[in-house]
Amino acid sequence: MKLQSQLTVAFTALLLVIMAVAWYVIYSLILDLLIQDEQRQLKKTGELLVNVLNEQYGTTDVQQFNEILQDQNLQMFMYDRKHDQVLLSTMSNQVAKGFFKNNDFSDTKKTQWQYGNERFVTSRIIFLPEESGLELILLTPLSDLRIVQQSFFTRIFFIFIIGALAAVLISYYLTRKLVTPLSKLKRQLKKIEKRQFDIEHIKATGEIKEVADSVYEMANELQRYMNTQQTFFQNASHELKTPLMTIQGYAEGIKDGIFTEKEAEKGLEVMVSEVNRLKVIINEMILLAKLDSEPSVYEPVKIDVSALINQVVDRAIPFVNEKGITLRHEVQTNITLFADEEKLLRALLNIVFNGIRHAESQIEINVLKKGRRIIITIADDGEGISKEVASNIFHRFVKGKNGETGLGLAIARAIIEQSNGKITVGRSKLGGAEFEINLPE
Ligand SMILES: Nc1ncnc2c1ncn2[C@@H]1O[C@H](COP(=O)(O)OP(=O)(O)OP(=O)(O)O)[C@@H](O)[C@H]1O
Ligand SMILES: [Mg+2]
């Protein structure tokens, strides 16, 4: 069953149960209320009659009283308690006798009498002074009250039907409002399942809105991931294919004896260097895969940053000198951080070697502490990062002019992120690129 139908049924059932209980309570109470009310009315009428009688005719002028009563449309007895006898009644003699036979007139506790198949509600009013022993007993047939009860029942029943209809409509409206965004969201999820990412935003509130927002974020993330994955495979296969084709070309040439001995010699040299290059690429890819998936390859230790930068400079100096440029470095003393030393060194070297390759005449390394963060900047005065690659320079196999394999920065980022740091790139004051690494203390 659909969620909307389930909710509508549940809501309606709940409302119906509440209304049925209310209706039952009212219906069962109403007859008691009517009886009580009738007794009150009878008592009032009786008291009025007794008063009139006392004032105008002395206590017991039965004959005159009888005449007045015949004019009223009342069912009543005048009863003499002392002698246990009916003095007069507005009913026919036969009926009055029947009543007297069927019911104990002297029992004042009993409020309902039986005659034939009918029950009667009674009300007794004593004449004053009490010693006279005279009582007025007024009666109303219960069937009269049942007619009122019946008409009440019909009315309540109609109200009940209208209420039930309203309940169904209201619950249908409410559940529709609740469920519509969910079914829209379901359609969007189906689209994502088919990898269509042109999803539309859904109007919703509360938790459903939160779920919808998470779905959009998830879809965007998935799309981004699929795109990077796709470019990664394209770039990787291109990067691996080039050396393989070179090797294949030389190998076939040598096998078919097309090359002279000297050319063959040269070909073998090229093949060896290309195989080495492939080995480097594959090792770096394996390293990257490990950095991403195996946190255990990291062995964080306490590092003295100044010593770490010295190691970087020591390794970079030969290449700096070879290129005839200058390398300056400035490190605040006594800065330590917690990271895998060997891997962080590798990340820094990747960035510094890029800098050496691209620099015009100088490179600068600076380390300073800002609050609880350590900021390492590596700047050069080269041509800077070209616009085309700037946005995804840290992705695998992304490289620009003068690039090699395009894995260096991807490796650097993976290492820095695993050390809970961040790396960004911008333009340096020297004119070229500036990489900023932000690490926790
Ligand atoms: N300091 C820099 N100045 C200008 N461009 C740079 C600089 N550093 C990196 N780049 C650009 O970023 C690209 C990606 O750098 P990355 O280090 O990831 O790869 P690579 O140097 O080409 O190859 P390798 O994997 O051997 O490091 C480079 O190809 C280059 O175009
Ligand atoms: Mg590099």
Residue 160 tokens read as 């009940």
For the stretch 3-22, what's the b/e string if a residue is b when 16 or more beta carbons lie within 10 angstroms of its beta carbon? ebeebbeebbeebeeebeee
| Stated pTM of the model | 0.59
For the chain, how big is the Rg over CA atoms in Å? 52
Distance 440 CA to ligand 2 centre (A): 24
Distance 434 CA to ligand 1 centre (A): 12
Q: Which residue has the higher pLDDT, 334 or 424?
A: 424
Distance 295 CA to ligand 2 centre (A): 23
Nearest to 358 by CA among 413, 400, 310: 400
Looking at residue 61, its pLDDT comes to: 60
Within the chain, which residue ranges are assigned CATH 3.30.450? 3-149
Within the chain, which residue ranges are assigned CATH 3.30.565.10? 298-440
Q: In the CATH scheme, what architecture does the domain 298-440 have?
A: 2-Layer Sandwich (3.30)
Give residue-wise pLDDT tens across range 222-267: 998 898 888 888 888 888 898 999 999 999 999 999 988 898 999 9
Looking at residue 391, its pLDDT comes to: 86
> From the alpha carbon of 401, which atom of ligand 1 is closest?
31
Mean local confidence (pLDDT), 278-307: 89
136 pLDDT more than 90: no
152 pLDDT more than 60: yes
Distance 397 CA to ligand 2 centre (A): 10
Q: Which residue has the higher pLDDT, 366 or 52?
A: 366
65 pLDDT more than 80: no
* Residue type present at position 431: G
Instruction: Look at ligand 1, atom 3, and give the residue with the nearest C-alpha.
Output: 384
> From the alpha carbon of 386, which atom of ligand 1 is closest?
5
Mean local confidence (pLDDT), 406-434: 94
Which of 409, 428, 430, when mutated, tests ligand 1's pocket best, judged by the most ligand atoms within 8 Å of its CB?
Answer: 409
Q: Which residue has the higher pLDDT, 322 or 293?
A: 322
Which of 291, 323, 399, when mutated, tests ligand 1's pocket best, judged by the most ligand atoms within 8 Å of its CB?
Answer: 399
Q: In the CATH scheme, what architecture does the domain 206-293 have?
A: Orthogonal Bundle (1.10)
Q: Which ligand sits nearest to residue 407's alpha carbon?
A: 1
Instruction: Look at ligand 1, atom 14, and give the residue with the nearest C-alpha.
Output: 399
Distance 203 CA to ligand 1 centre (A): 45
59 pLDDT more than 60: no
What is the per-residue DSSP string for 263-317? HHHHHHHHHHHHHHHHHHHHHHHHHHHHHHH-GGG---EEEEHHHHHHHHHHHHH
Which of 232, 278, 354, 427, when mutated, tests ligand 1's pocket best, judged by the most ligand atoms within 8 Å of its CB?
Answer: 354
Distance 287 CA to ligand 2 centre (A): 15
Looking at residue 64, its pLDDT comes to: 66
> From the alpha carbon of 406, which atom of ligand 1 is closest?
19
> From the alpha carbon of 383, which atom of ligand 1 is closest?
4
Instruction: Look at ligand 1, atom 27, and give the residue with the nearest C-alpha.
Output: 408
Looking at residue 317, its pLDDT comes to: 95
> From the alpha carbon of 432, which atom of ligand 1 is closest?
3
Residue 127: pLDDT band by 50, 70, 90 thresholds? confident
58 pLDDT more than 60: no
Distance 384 CA to ligand 2 centre (A): 14
The set of residues, in sequence order, having a beta carbon less than 8 Å from that of 43 and lying 6+ positions away, is 123, 125, 138
Residue 18: phi and psi, rounded to 5, are -60, -45
> From the alpha carbon of 407, which atom of ligand 1 is closest?
25
Helix axes 408-418, 261-293, angle to 10 degrees: 20
Instruction: Look at ligand 1, atom 5, and give the residue with the nearest C-alpha.
Output: 385
Mean local confidence (pLDDT), 59-73: 65
Mean local confidence (pLDDT), 129-148: 86
Identify the residues whose C-beta falls under 6 Å from ligand 1. Answer: 350, 354-355, 358, 380, 382, 384-385, 389, 393, 398-401, 403-410, 432-433
| CB 364, CB 352: distance < 8 Å | no
Distance 346 CA to ligand 2 centre (A): 11
| CB 139, CB 132: distance < 8 Å | no
* Residue 370: CB atoms within 10 Å: 8
Distance 399 CA to ligand 1 centre (A): 6
> From the alpha carbon of 354, which atom of ligand 1 is closest?
8
Residue 62: pLDDT band by 50, 70, 90 thresholds? low
- Using a pLDDT cut of 90, give the percent of the chain over it: 40
Lowest mean pLDDT among 52-66, 139-153, 339-353, 418-432: 52-66
129 pLDDT more than 60: yes
Looking at residue 380, its pLDDT comes to: 96
Give residue-wise pLDDT tens across range 84-115: 888 888 888 888 889 888 888 888 888 889 88
Looking at residue 304, its pLDDT comes to: 94
Lowest mean pLDDT among 132-136, 255-259, 322-326: 132-136
Q: Count CA within 13 A, CB hemisphere, residue 72.
A: 16
Distance 393 CA to ligand 2 centre (A): 10
130 pLDDT more than 60: yes
Within the chain, which residue ranges are assigned CATH 1.10.287.130? 206-293
Alpha-carbon dihedral angle through residues 307, 312, 317, 319, given to the nearest 10 degrees:
170
Q: In the CATH scheme, what architecture does the domain 3-149 have?
A: 2-Layer Sandwich (3.30)
Residue 367: Cβ-neighbour burial (10 angstroms; 0-12, 13-18, 19+)? buried
Lowest mean pLDDT among 18-22, 411-415, 417-421: 18-22
| CB 122, CB 137: distance < 8 Å | yes
